Amino acid sequence: MNKWMRDHKKILIILFFPYLLLLFLLVTPTKFALVGPGGLTPVDENVEIEMTEMSKNFYTIYVVSYHPMTPFQKIVAELSQRIAVSKMTQRQEDTTWKEQYLQGQMTKEVSLNTSVIKAYELANLKDSSISVDYSYEGALIYYRPSSMSLLEIGDLVISINGTSLTELTYDMFIDLFYSSLTTTLEIQRVVGSELKTFTFEYTKLADEAWMLFYPQYDIISTIPHVDYTGNNATIGGPSGGMIQTLSIYASLLNLNLKDLKIAGTGTMEMDGTVGRIGGIVQKLYTAMDANADIFIYPYGHISDIPDLDFPYEMVVVKTIEEAVNWLHEKTSTMD
């Protein structure tokens, strides 16, 4: 072996430089982020309702979101029209992979809670035996500048400037928080089995991005009882809210959609609005590859839809009520 190495010494030295270059391309982080097509996840994998068969027609769409990209990934991604490459935002640059994961899991749970509440409320209008009891607990921290190391993703803000958040609506809290550069927040954190509460003086610095929040609703009880069974820890985010709501609603009312494959995206807000999401174009491609029959998306993205020949029916909705009405019309045409 030594002899072989001596004989090929020159080649080995020459090859060492392209090797180093390749290594550099494969591991060095850039300031770019990518969003690429992903796949579909059946909603019935995430939710289980007592004595109710979950509808098998609804699918959430996930996309591959990755930052920071390596130079190799940037070169490869730019060869594909389906992958969007963009400069990392200030918040992305300031977020670690662990925090990104926590954000995804936190928003997934918040989105499931909102979906259950909205679906049960809407189903209650058709069948009064279906009910949900919930309470607004406060605002969960989704993003905070990394300089505020005292705060963690998922901490619950329970009061602002001495006023309990349960006395305010979530929108009132948001208005209050963003109207001032300094605020006093009371934070609640779960440490093991204990609840730890502390006060944090927040000052918005000029070179830092604003903190971001999500409302925390605690579901006290539901009839029929609902359980979250989803265990895919690699998929997170709030974009499945609207389609989860539709799926739970259709399951509660036992709506027959035969074997339609309905994919959809859009966040679910408590006022019924279906909100914007990231990577809409990549989600369109994902639904194409997965042979979806229907694609439901938020009205806020109407101008982002590319001029393509989509192999599925496109449905645009502003609110969950619109989506539910569409669902009933669809069911009636299928009978």
Of 16-24, 149-157, 174-182, 262-270, the segment contacting another protein by CB under 8 A is 16-24
Answer yes or no: are the C-beta atoms of 295 and 314 closer than 8 Å.
yes
* Near another protein by CB under 8 A: residue from 72, 101, 299, 326: 72
Q: To the nearest whole angstrom, how small is the minimum distance from the Cβ of residue 316 to another protein?
A: 26
Residue among 181 and 233 whose Cβ is closer to another protein: 233
Is the peptide bond preceding residue 68 cis, with omega within 30 degrees of 0? Answer: yes
* Near another protein by CB under 8 A: residue from 54, 77, 84, 294: 77
Q: To the nearest whole angstrom, how small is the minimum distance from the Cβ of residue 25 to another protein?
A: 9
φ and ψ at 42, to 5 degrees? -65, 135
Q: Is 289 in the site for another protein (CB under 8 A)?
A: yes
Query: For another protein, how many residues bind (rule: CB under 8 A)?
Result: 24
CA atoms within 13 A on the CB side of 119: 28
Q: To the nearest whole angstrom, how small is the minimum distance from the Cβ of residue 215 to another protein?
A: 31
Q: Is 34 in the site for another protein (CB under 8 A)?
A: yes
Q: Is 26 in the site for another protein (CB under 8 A)?
A: yes
Q: Look at residues 249, 293, 288 and name the one whose alpha carbon lies nearest to residue 268.
A: 249
CA distance 332 to 335: 5
Pairing of the two strands 156-160 and 163-164: antiparallel
Q: Is 70 in the site for another protein (CB under 8 A)?
A: yes
Q: Per-residue DSSP letters for 18-57?
A: HHHHHHHHHH---SEEEEEEEEEEEGGGTEEETT-PPPSS
Can you give the binding site for another protein, defined by CB under 8 A? 1-2, 19, 22-23, 26-27, 34, 36-39, 64, 66, 69-70, 72-73, 76-77, 80, 83, 234, 289
